[in-house]
Amino acid sequence: MPQGTALLNFTSTLLGGELLENPRFHGGVAGWSPIGGRGALLPSPGLLRFLRAGDIIVNGAFPTDVSGWLEGGLGTLTWEAGRARLTPDGAGINLMQQDVEDNYVYRDQWRIGVRYRISFDVVTNGGNNGAVRVGSQAGSSLDLLSETGLTTGSHTFDFYYSVPLAEGPLMHVSLLNTIVTGYTEFDNIVLRELDVATAVRQTVLRKPGAYRLRVSVASVAGGSVTVKLSSGGTDLVDATISSPGSTDYDVTTGSSDIVVTVGRSADAVAAGVSEISLRPFEQSSAQAQVAVTGQAAIAAGAFMEAWVHNGDSTADHSADEHRSERLQVRCGDLVAGTGFTVHGQIRDGAALGQYKARWAWAA
């Protein structure tokens, strides 16, 4: 009596109806909540970029010269043993300044509300003290930071960018003398963003079911793009993507909340994401069938039988699932000299993936 096995493949259909707001970032980052801060997050139509914040100042350590800095006021700006020295001419104070907008790789994006930190070392002489000013333009009264009376030592100041956009771009950095005698030296000048966003997150409320998350990575430099999907406090997806392309994650949720978080790993210099999409699956059919062929001896009127064996399993379903599922199988559609079809049906609900059935026939 010829016999064998057949794999019944129960499939599902991806429905329309995007669940996430603004999945392709044509509305900037509307609908998405930055994680970790607002800095270094660059939305543009069709692309969201994550950047690792770097030093915005050019030549702040002065290893060989004072290039990148402009002299202003009354006096001289010179290089002295790895430091920048400001020497007034006795008639007025002088300053060194840098318009960092041209250096600022992140440009004008996400500037309002972003926090910055500037730090530097000061060496004073002849009763002079240092000062620092950060504003939207040289000499502007719209200072974001203004500190005077800085004595020899290391200094650190935090500030927020809060100037209206109409007033011009951030930032113009000025370091000054405060009196007309002696000199002031500056070194190790560093300006960075703080509270840098490393991910974006969105939560949707849907009934438990099957869903597909798609993440499309446009670029990644060093490190990877991180992907998480959780429901009911359980991570159903916790993955990384290290090269461009689209990756799909199929999940089945058991709770009404779905939280999607996508960002960059700590070692990533930059990453670009063009799509974060979440759509529901419909487990569209409770039926599956597979043809059994190559049965040259089978004739009309042959007896055919199909059944589920308790010990069988597949890559999709364990032996326990084979035993517990309400799966019915039968044979039909006999074609003499060729074979027949094994039909499977789930009596309650639907199924997804492959199940194994056994078959036999006799004349």
Residue 230 lies in a domain: yes
| Domain CATH for 257 | 2.60.120.260
Q: Are residues 299 and 271 in the same domain?
A: no
Higher pLDDT, 301 or 93: 301
Q: How many structural domains compose the chain?
A: 3
How many Cα atoms sit within 13 Å of 325 on the Cβ side? 30
Residue 265 lies in a domain: yes
**Average pLDDT rounded to a whole number, residues 201-223:** 92
Q: Are residues 341 and 252 in the same domain?
A: no
Distances (CA, A) of 45 to 48, 68, 197, 263, 275: 8, 33, 19, 18, 11
Residue 61 lies in a domain: no
What per-residue confidence (pLDDT) applies to 138?
47
In whole angstroms, what is the distance from residue 309 CA to residue 298 CA? 24
**Average pLDDT rounded to a whole number, residues 80-106:** 80
Q: Are residues 208 and 299 in the same domain?
A: no
Residue 138 lies in a domain: yes
Range picked from 1-5, 28-32, 226-230, 359-363 for highest mean pLDDT = 226-230
Higher pLDDT, 142 or 143: 143
Cα dihedral 193/194/198/202 (nearest 10): -110
Place of tokens 């930032």: 171
3-class SS letters over the chain? CCEEEEEEEECCEECCCCCCCCCCCCCCCCCCEEECCCECEEEECCEEEEECCCCCCCCCCCCCCCCCCEEEECEEEEEECCEEEEEECCCCCEEEEEEHHHCCCCCCCCCCCCEEEEEEEEEEECCCCEEEEEECCCCCCCEEEEEEEECCEEEEEEEECCCCHHHCCCCEEEEEECCCCCEEEEEEEEEEECCECCEEEEEEECCCCEEEEEEEEEEEECCCEEEEEEECCEEEEEEEECCCEEEEEEEECCCCEEEEEEEECCCCCEEEEEEEEEEEEECCCCEEEEEECCCCCCCCCCEEEEECCCCCCCCCCCHHHHHHCCEEEEEEEEECCCEEEEEEEECCCCCCEEEEEEEEEEC
Q: Are residues 186 and 210 in the same domain?
A: no
pTM of the full structure: 0.60
What per-residue confidence (pLDDT) applies to 209?
85
Measured from the Cβ of residue 12, the count of other Cβ atoms closer than 10 Å reads 18
- 84-93, 184-193, 239-248, 334-343: the lowest-pLDDT one: 84-93
Q: Are residues 124 and 176 in the same domain?
A: yes
Distances (CA, A) of 159 to 64, 81, 179, 212: 30, 30, 25, 42
Place of tokens 């005698």: 181
pLDDT tens profile 256-306: 899 999 999 989 988 999 999 999 876 556 788 999 999 999 999 999 999
In whole angstroms, what is the distance from residue 148 CA to residue 305 CA? 93
Q: Are residues 256 and 330 in the same domain?
A: no
Q: Are residues 273 and 203 in the same domain?
A: yes
Q: For residue 171, is the peptide bond before it cis, meaning its omega torsion is within 30 degrees of 0? A: yes
What per-residue confidence (pLDDT) applies to 295?
95
In whole angstroms, what is the distance from residue 97 CA to residue 79 CA? 15
What per-residue confidence (pLDDT) applies to 150?
93
**Average pLDDT rounded to a whole number, residues 24-52:** 85
pLDDT tens profile 326-351: 788 999 999 999 999 999 988 766 67
pLDDT of 165 over the 50 cut? no
Strand 83-88 relative to strand 75-80, pairing = antiparallel
Q: Are the beta carbons of 232 and 252 closer than 8 angstroms?
A: no
Which of 248, 238, 234, 239 minimizes the C-alpha distance to 276? 248
pLDDT of 85 over the 70 cut? yes
Q: Are residues 28 and 102 in the same domain?
A: no
Q: Are residues 184 and 249 in the same domain?
A: no
Q: Are the beta carbons of 187 and 150 closer than 8 angstroms?
A: no
pLDDT-above-90 percentage for the chain:
51
Range picked from 8-12, 168-172, 219-223 for highest mean pLDDT = 219-223
**Average pLDDT rounded to a whole number, residues 23-39:** 87
Q: Are the beta carbons of 57 and 100 closer than 8 angstroms?
A: yes
**Average pLDDT rounded to a whole number, residues 235-241:** 97
Residue 121 lies in a domain: yes
Residue 4 lies in a domain: no
pLDDT of 136 over the 70 cut? no
Q: Are residues 120 and 157 in the same domain?
A: yes
Structure tokens at 175: 């370091």
Q: Which of 282, 317, 348 is the last residue of a domain?
A: 282
Q: Are residues 186 and 114 in the same domain?
A: yes
Q: Are residues 145 and 216 in the same domain?
A: no
Q: Are the beta carbons of 251 and 228 closer than 8 angstroms?
A: no
The domain in which residue 127 lies consists of 70-193
Per-residue pLDDT band at 40 (split at 50, 70, 90): confident
Residue 352 lies in a domain: yes
Residue 57 lies in a domain: no
What per-residue confidence (pLDDT) applies to 29?
87
In whole angstroms, what is the distance from residue 282 CA to residue 15 CA? 7
pLDDT tens profile 1-28: 899 999 998 876 666 689 999 999 987 8
Mean pLDDT, all residues of the chain: 86
Q: Which of 229, 255, 282 is the last residue of a domain?
A: 282
Backbone angles phi, psi at 176, to 5 degrees: -130, 160
Per-residue pLDDT band at 166 (split at 50, 70, 90): very low
pLDDT-above-70 percentage for the chain:
88
pLDDT tens profile 56-82: 888 999 999 999 999 988 889 999 999
Q: Which of 193, 228, 254 is the last residue of a domain?
A: 193
